[in-house]
Structure 1
Amino acid sequence: MKIVILGGGATGMGVAAKVKRNDKNCEVLVIETGNYVSLGACGLPYYVGKNFDEPNMLFARTIEKFNESGIEIIINSKIKLIDLKNKKVVVNNKEITFDKLVIATGADAISPNIKGLNTIEHFKLTKFEDGLALRNIVEKKNINNILIVGSGFIGLELAENLKDLNKNVTMVEIEKDILSNLYDAEISELIKTTLEKNKINLMLNSFVNNFYKKENKVIANISDKEYEFDLVITATGFKPNTELLLNTGLNFYKNNAIIVDEFGKTNIEDVYAGGDCCAIMNKITNQFCYSPLATVASKQAKVIANNICKIESRFNGTIQSSIIRLFDKAIARCGLTVREANDLNIKTKVSYIKDKDHTHYLKGQSDVHLKLIMNEDTHELIGAQMFSHKDSILRFYSLATMVWSKIKVNEALEQIDLPYSPPFAKSFDIIHIAISKFI
């Protein structure tokens, strides 16, 4: 059986490696448009921020190591044609046939439609070469005032890392709240306060009208006022990299992400897809959503590889769990926000608590903010959001497990046997307190 994989990211290489472990007799060919595979792109902001100096540490495995396991990889590929009906692709003017095709083409950074953007040097952070280029320029002494357009995960991580390099950082965000698609207003406000406390210049509910160059500077017209910057970075989100596939007969989600079932199959026989190019099922709403997260990509890779090898395996959906460090704080979330629940006509009950992370008689006690969202009709936990010191945030993993399990809120849950010791928690933890508000 010949398996062709389009894309050498987390999903593509995960499928390739797992297929070979399942069945060494399978012929596996990976087609990658870049000159590398298996990049841990989530580490790019931390490379830019000099948290480590060896960029090759971002690669989980070399091409040579994959070759040794019998996986063939074609890099620097130009895909000219994808013919799903006749099971062939044309790459670098060569026709390649397949028995099974895996589409793992990932996502591209969205380029904002701003007048003059194409006339100035600007940076994004999606690929390995982006990280190398951005780190190289921010090391220059004359790069001090930096504008980040967008305040999503990449924008926030860059803001933290660039500030740690003693840069003056300005963030412009068109929405009035930060990460308003992931957090409710209480948590968004805490993120805003943390950024301001660390001297990030926030321009919320604002937008860039246009850019132009003036000598060695970039002038940005932001909400009808002009500001001067040394460097511009765009971080306005991602879109699925599926343009070459739009006329192939595949079914697509509203943002052109490929729709797949729980087995990783598309609507076309013997064609699978996974990772950031796909729409997946939300475990709570039972509706498709777009969630370009590394955790999803790696899980889908195993499911796809198993099903190709006739080992039945299912992807059970997502609750869109995420976590981010922001200076000495951390923020985590999973499930639905109140706004999302309201949009779906789900009746909710909310418990919002501020408490301490551990006992008062030990040094370093800090605040924890926790929001739990319960479906009032079913009594299931459907969402959780937490803001705390970075050393306290890992208690959130238990909350993600509760939401994932669709656990019901009752007296037994209020008594959940969480571990306790004075340096780590209080005997009645903030999780207990938040749950008790529902009882």
Structure 2
Amino acid sequence: MKIVILGGGATGMGVAAKLKRNDKNNEVIVIETENYVSLGACGLPYFVGNHFENKNNLFARSIEKFNESGIEVKINQKFLNADFDNKKIDLEDQTISYDKLVIATGSTNSVPNISGLDDIKWHKLTKLEDALELKEKCKDTDVKNILIVGAGFIGLELAENLSKLGKSITIVERDEELFSRLYDEEISQLLEQNLQRNKIELILNSSVSEFKKSNNNKVLANINQTEFEYDLVVLASGFKPNTKFFKDSKLKMDNKGAIIVDEFGATNIVDVYSGGDCCVIKNKITNELCYSPLATVASKQAKVIANNICNINSKFSGTIQSSIIRVFDDSAARAGITEKEAISMTMKIKTVFIKDKDHTNYLKGQKDIYLKLIMNEDTKELVGAQMLGDPNSILRFYCLVPLIWNKNKVDESLEQIDLPYAPPFSRTFDIIHIALSKLV
């Protein structure tokens, strides 16, 4: 069986490797537009921030290693067209036939429509080349004031890393609250306070209306009818599915261009599969399709797709959009749905938000920790959780994820969940116990 995979990211290479493990006789061809595969893009902000210098650390596996396992990797390829009826892929210099096709083209930068953007030099952070260019640019001591457009994961991680390089950072975000689609107001405000403590200028409920070059080769940004001057601009305004090649095809997509797949990773076209940042997946709480461009999701989908191609029944269970981020001295984690989402669904809920300490008071370094839980009052199921604390104490959040995933009911038994205790790690009645007790 000949399987062609479009895209050499987490999903594409995951599918390729699993196909070979399932059956070494599978003919697997990966087509990639860049000159590399298996880039760990989540590490790019930390590479720019000089946490490590060897760029090869960003790659999970080399092309040579994939070739040794029998996977043919074609790099620097320009994709032109997919002929689904005749099962052919047109590249710039050749046409490749397939028995099964996997579309794993990932995501691309969502570039805002800002006047003058084409007239200035701006940076992004999605590819290795972006990181190399930005890292080199930040070595210039004359680059002091940096504007980041967008306060998502990349924006905040870059803000921390560039600030620690001695740069003065301004973030402009169009939403009224930080991470408003991931966190409720309580956690958003704590993250905003964190940025203020760390001298990051945060301009919320605003956007850049115009960019212009200044006479001294700097950039002028018009924000709220006021011009500000910056040495460097980074666009971190989110991602969108990289599916423009299929715009006029038979492939079923949502209104934002994300490919629609079923629980097996199959599209509406026979023998065509898709996974990762270019498609939508089912939200396990809402049962609605959602766009969740996360590496963890992409990797899990890869196994499901490869198994089904090899006639091994496998299903993707969905997502509760779990995520975690470190922002200077704090970390924030979330899973499930927010209170805002629950209200929009007219779900009857009960919530609790509490502040406690991360461990016993007689040991040094005791710090505040915050937790919000959201429960469906009709089913008594935990449907959402959000936490903020230091990078060590936040790890207790991992025990909340399976409670949401498995739709555990909040009752007296769950309130008594047997969490591990020792003075350096927690208090005898942990913040999780306290929050659950207020929902019972």
TM-score higher than 0.5: yes
In 2, distance between residues paired with 1:113 and 1:127? 21
Q: Who is 1:346 aligned against?
A: 347
- CA drift of 1:56 comes to 1.1
Corresponding residue number in structure 2 for 1:329: 330
Rounded Cα–Cα distance in structure 2 between residues aligned with 1:411 and 1:303: 37
Mapping 1:133-282, distance limit 5 Å: 133-214=133-214, 215-282=216-283
Deviation at 1:251, TM superposition (A): 1.2
Q: Secondary structure at the match of 1:61?
A: coil
Equivalent residue, structure 2, for 1:302: 303
Structure 2 distance, partners of 1:331, 1:311, is 38
Deviations 1:212-261 (A, max 9, x none): 11122111111100111000000000000011112221111231100111
How far the C-alpha of 1:205 sits from its partner, in A, is: 1.2
Alignment of 1:425-436 (within 5 A): 425-436=426-437
Q: Which amino acid in the other structure matches residue 361 of structure 2?
A: H
Q: CA deviation at 1:75?
A: 0.6
**1:92 to partner: Cα distance:** 2.2
Q: 1:353 Cα deviation (Å)?
A: 0.9
1:331-375 C-alpha deviation (Å, 9 max, x unpaired): 000100011111111111001110000001000000110000000
Deviations 1:118-176 (CA, angstroms, capped at 9, x unpaired): 11110000011000001010111110000000100000000000011110000011111
Structure 2 Cα separation of the partners of residues 251 and 121 of structure 1: 36
Taking structure 1 as the reference length, the TM-score comes to 0.99
Partner residue, 2:404: 403
1:9 is aligned to 9
Aligned equivalent of 2:392 = 391
Alignment match, 2:52: 52
Cα distance in structure 1, aligned partners of 2:193 and 2:255 = 34
| Alignment partner, residue 294 of structure 2 | 293
CA drift at 1:96:
0.6
Matched residues in 1 for 2:121 and 2:93: separation? 33
SS in 2 for 1:275: coil
SS at match of 1:112: coil
Letter in 2 for 1:69: S
Separation in 1, partners of 2:138, 2:349: 46
Alpha-carbon distance in structure 2 between the residues aligned to 1:88 and 1:122: 37
Distance 1:86 1:26 in 2: 20
How far did 1:8 drift?
0.3
TM-aligned CA deviation for residue 91 of structure 1: 1.1
Displaced runs of 4 or more, over 2 A: none
CA contact (8 A) 1:32 1:76 kept: yes
User: Partner letter of residue 161 of structure 2?
Assistant: N
Instruction: Give the 3-state SS of the residue equivalent to 2:212 in structure 1.
Output: strand
- The equivalent residue for 2:121 is 121
1:412 and 1:251 map into 2 onto residues whose CA distance is 45
Show the counterpart of 1:81: 81
Alignment partners' CA distance in 2, 1:257 and 1:387? 31
Helix, strand or coil at the partner of 1:253: coil
Instruction: Give the AA of the match of 1:105.
Output: T
Whichever residue aligns with residue 33 of structure 2, its letter is T
d(CA) in 2 for partners of 1:246, 1:211: 30
CA distance in 2 between counterparts of 1:63 and 1:207 reads 41
Report the equivalent of 2:34. Answer: 34
Using the alignment, how far apart are the partners of 1:51 and 1:143 within structure 2? 20
- Aligned residue in 2 for 1:71: 71
Give per-residue Cα distances to partners, 1:83-125, cap 9 Å, x unaligned. Answer: 1111101112311100000000000011111101111110000
Superposed CA offset, 1:294-336 (max 9, x none): 0000000000011111111110000000000011110000100
- One-letter code aligned to 1:207: S
**Percent sequence identity over matched residues?**
63
Contact 1:80 1:93 in 2 (8 A): no
CA deviation profile, 1:6-53 (whole Å, cap 9, x unmatched): 000000000000000000000000000111100000000000000001
Q: Aligned AA for 1:406?
A: K
Q: Which residue does the alignment assign to 1:318?
A: 319
- Counterpart Cα distance in 1 of 2:218 and 2:106: 34
- AA in 1 matched with 2:159: A
Contact 1:10–1:38 at 8 Å: present in 2 too? yes
Aligned residue runs from structure 1 range 74-113, under 5 A:
74-113=74-113
Counterpart of 2:67 in structure 1: which amino acid? Answer: N
Query: 1-side partners of 2:439 and 2:285: how far apart?
Result: 20
| CA–CA separation in structure 2 for the residues paired with 1:252 and 1:103 | 13
Letter in 2 for 1:297: A
After superposition, the CA RMSD in angstroms is: 0.6
Equivalents in 1 of 2:221, 2:249: separation in Å? 41
For structure 1, list consecutive stretches of 5 or more residues without a partner in the other structure. Answer: none
Displacement after TM superposition at 1:391 (Å): 1.2
Query: How far apart in 2 are the matches of 1:255 and 1:400?
Result: 29
Counterpart of 1:377 in 2: which secondary structure? coil
The letter for the 2-side match of 1:209 is S
